[in-house]
């Protein structure tokens, strides 16, 4: 495991598109020259291998994750049963009042109780008035999917609808909004995108597609015409009968990417995973986009990072324990074998040994006793460095990322480097180490005085009593 990646902010977050007929993954990287496309991967799903067959889906997903070494993801899930609605507020209304109004809306105006759903909202426009987009999903549906992703060893940073991911990635050449027709697991979802935001989302059960799809599309077009929003083009995600698509009164649009990357995938099928991968590049503190899970994207990322860090330190502790146990066993095995050899040599001597044999015996006995003393001293003086690592982990504080830690001799100066959220966090870390019963002479030189956030630091300290790491 890479310690620098585990405890720094450099873990790459990719976009995972979960469709009814495929899994797709994209990974982007921000470089000096712009954005680069690092990875594109696809796994086809058969008719009985999608989310409606969880056991088979989990097998396919796990294989896909391992083959492409996928770890942290923004998950784009089918829009089936995801509710979306926009709310308008006066432009002069304070954000605090809007937040209170949205909380009341969630409690009083939604058809499901708050404890039954994962719900989130975000601001999408404030030109003439403040437009708020609210979205929710049933907890049972979200938890089932999140559980499958975690069983495949994925670390989920955020969950959003495929339509929302697509909206982020599509560049519109034409004025007005576009209609997205998305084939889901059991439904067809219809969404409206304007200015890279979703305005509308509706699902139609599979069994009613033939009879109701065109009728519902015309209703959506007319409704938005009434709002002075024209819809002239549409995009298809997934597979739908050609004869049905020809009945749609809109023109099909071959979209271009709104994400400036090199190389640019030409097929629209990649745009969902690209949209979620682009969100993965946003700093966690700045990601205020809707996430349909129990916690915000920043908290989810910090939790997954904390779990990885704990696993790393546990692995280190286990490895150190195994190493020192191996040394102990090797030392005592050597003593045991040598004692047996000397026993055999002593028995081989004549019962009335000559003076030469007696002198040789005394010499070997003295050598043996000296070696036993040396081995005993070695075992006694084994350093248990895991105690220092464990104490450093316990004295770390929230808002600190540790990059490196040196382990010199017990009398030497230990150094610990990393990045802290702000100056106050650096002071808290110093005070925490000073309160330790193990550490002394804790020093953090003042550097980068012009920076207020994301402050790199280097801390030095000594052990109060070097003997403590030799005790059992």
Give the model's confidence band at 8: pLDDT under 50 very low, under 70 low, under 90 confident, else very high: very low
Instruction: Taking residues 63-81, report their average pLDDT.
Output: 92
Strand partners, 37: 28
Distance between the two ends of the chain, CA-based, in angstroms? 28
Predicted local confidence at residue 295, as pLDDT: 66
CA distances from 222 to 85, 219, 227, 246, 356 (A): 17, 5, 9, 19, 115
Question: What confidence tens digit (pLDDT) does each residue in 132-156 have?
Answer: 999 999 999 999 999 999 999 999 9
Q: Which pLDDT tens digit goes with each residue over 340-361? A: 665 565 555 444 444 455 555 5
pLDDT of residue 351: 46
* Dist CA 460 CA 418 (whole Å): 12
**Mean local confidence (pLDDT), 7-23:** 81
Which residue, among 203, 77, 202, 82, has the nearest Cα to 137 in the 3D structure? 82
Condensed to tens digits (0 to 9), the pLDDT of residues 429-448 reads: 889 888 888 888 889 887 76
Residues 211-250: b if buried by 16+ CB within 10 A, e if exposed: eebeebbeebbeebeeeeeebebbbbbbebeeeeeeebeb
Topology of domain 3-170+256-294, per CATH? Nucleotidyltransferase; domain 5 (3.30.420)
Q: What is the pLDDT of residue 3?
A: 43
322: region left, alpha or beta (phi > 0 left; psi from -120 to 50 alpha) = alpha
Q: Two tokens at 424?
A: 């106050």
Q: How far is CA 40 from each of CA 46, 184, 270, rounded to the nearest angstrom?
A: 20, 22, 8
For position 438, what pLDDT does the model report?
Answer: 85
Segment 28-56 mean pLDDT: 90
Is the pLDDT assigned to residue 167 strictly greater than 80?
A: yes
Angular region, 172: left φ>0, alpha ψ -120 to 50, beta rest: beta
Three-state SS for the chain is CCHHHHHCCCCCEEEEEECCCEEEEEEEEEECCEEEEEEEEEEECCCCCCCCCHHHHHHHHHHHHHHHCCCEEEEEECCCCCEEEEEEEECCCCHHHHHHHHHHHHHHCCCCCHHHEEEEEEEEECCCEEEEEEEEEEHHHHHHHHHHHHHCCCEEEEEEEHHHHHHHHEECCCCCEEEEEEECCCEEEEEEEECCEEEEEEEEEHHHHHHHHHHHHHHHHHHHHHCCCCEEEEEEECCCCHHHHCCCCCEECCCEECCCEECCCCCHHHHHHHHHHHHHCCCHHHCCCCCCCCCCHHHHHHHHHHHHHHHHHHHHHHHHHHHHHHHHHHHHHHHHHHHHHHHHHHHHCCCCCCHHHHHHHHHHHHHHHHHHHHHHHHHHCCCCCHHHHHHHHHHCCCCEEEEEECCCCCCCCEEEEEEECCHHHHHHHHHHHHCCCCEEEEECCCCCCCCCCCEEEEEEEEECCHHHHCCC
pLDDT at 71: 92
Distance from C-alpha of 41 to C-alpha of 16, rounded to nearest angstrom: 10
Query: Which is more confidently placed, 150 or 338?
Result: 150
- CA-CA distance, 137 to 199, in Å (whole number)? 17
d(CA 25, CA 68): 9
Angstrom CA distances, 118 to 33, 82, 135, 176, stand at: 39, 10, 8, 31
Spatial strand order in the sheet of 72-77: 155-161, 72-77, 13-18, 22-31, 34-44, 261-262
Domain ranges of the chain: 3-170+256-294, 312-380, 386-469
332 vs 179, 201, 376, 419, 425, CA distance in Å?
76, 72, 9, 44, 48
What pLDDT score was predicted for residue 151?
95
Average the pLDDT over 377-390 and give the result.
62
Q: How far apart are CA 317 and CA 335, in angstroms?
A: 27
Could you tell me the two tokens for 341?
């050899």
pLDDT band for 171, please (50, 70, 90 cuts).
Answer: confident
Across the chain, mean pLDDT equals 80
Closest CA to 204 of 215, 192, 193, 190: 190
- pLDDT-wise least confident of 87-101, 168-182, 351-365: 351-365
CATH for 386-469 (3.30.1360.100, 3.40.50.150, 3.30.420.480, 3.90.870.10):
3.30.1360.100
In the block, tokens 């550490």 appear at: 439
Residue 410: pLDDT over 50: yes
What pLDDT score does 26 carry?
Answer: 95
Q: Does the global pTM surpass 0.85?
A: no
pLDDT single digits (tens) 301-323: 454 554 544 444 455 556 556 66
């Amino acid at each position: 495991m890479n310690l620098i990646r585990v405890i720094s902010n450099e873990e790459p977050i990719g976009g995972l598109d979960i469709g009814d007929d495929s899994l797709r993954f994209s990974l982007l990287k921000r470089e000096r020259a712009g954005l680069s496309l690092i990875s594109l991967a696809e796994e086809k799903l058969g008719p009985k291998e999608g989310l409606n067959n969880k056991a088979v889906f989990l097998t396919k997903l796990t294989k896909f994750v391992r083959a492409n070494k996928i770890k942290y993801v923004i998950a784009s899930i089918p829009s089936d049963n995801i509710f979306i609605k926009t709310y308008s507020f006066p432009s002069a209304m304070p954000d605090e009042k809007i937040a209170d109004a949205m909380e009341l809306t969630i409690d009083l105006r939604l058809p499901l109780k708050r404890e039954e759903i994962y719900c989130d909202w975000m601001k999408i426009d404030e030109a003439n008035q403040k437009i708020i987009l609210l979205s929710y999903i049933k907890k049972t549906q979200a938890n089932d999917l999140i559980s499958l992703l975690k069983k495949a060893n994925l670390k989920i940073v955020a969950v959003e609808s495929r339509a929302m991911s697509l909206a982020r990635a599509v560049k519109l050449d034409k004025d007005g909004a576009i209609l997205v027709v998305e084939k889901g697991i059991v439904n067809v979802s219809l969404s409206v995108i304007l200015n890279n935001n979703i305005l509308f989302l509706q699902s139609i059960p599979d069994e009613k597609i033939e009879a109701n799809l065109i009728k519902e599309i015309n209703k959506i077009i007319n409704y938005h015409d009434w709002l002075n929003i024209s819809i002239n083009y549409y995009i298809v995600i997934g597979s739908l009968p050609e004869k049905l698509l020809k009945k749609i009164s809109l023109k099909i649009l071959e979209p271009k990417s709104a994400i400036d990357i090199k190389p640019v995938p030409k097929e629209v099928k990649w745009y969902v995973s690209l949209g979620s991968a682009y969100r993965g590049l946003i700093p966690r503190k700045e990601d205020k986009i809707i996430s349909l899970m129990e916690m915000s994207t920043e908290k989810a990322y910090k939790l997954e990072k904390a779990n990885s860090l704990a696993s790393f330190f546990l692995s280190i502790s286990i490895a150190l324990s195994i190493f020192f146990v191996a040394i102990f066993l090797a030392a005592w095995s050597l003593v045991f074998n040598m004692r047996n050899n000397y026993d055999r040599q002593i028995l081989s001597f004549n019962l009335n040994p000559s003076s030469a044999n007696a002198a040789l015996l005394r010499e070997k006995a003295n050598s043996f006793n000296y070696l036993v003393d040396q081995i005993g001293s070695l075992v006694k003086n084994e350093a248990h460095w895991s105690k220092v690592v464990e104490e450093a982990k316990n004295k770390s504080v929230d808002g600190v990322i540790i990059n490196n830690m040196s382990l010199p001799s017990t009398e030497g100066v230990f150094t610990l480097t990393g990045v802290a959220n702000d100056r106050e966090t650096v002071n808290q870390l110093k005070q925490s180490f000073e309160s330790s019963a193990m550490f002394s002479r804790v020093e953090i030189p003042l550097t980068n005085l012009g920076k207020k956030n994301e402050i790199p630091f280097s801390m030095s300290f000594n052990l109060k009593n070097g003997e403590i790491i030799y005790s059992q």
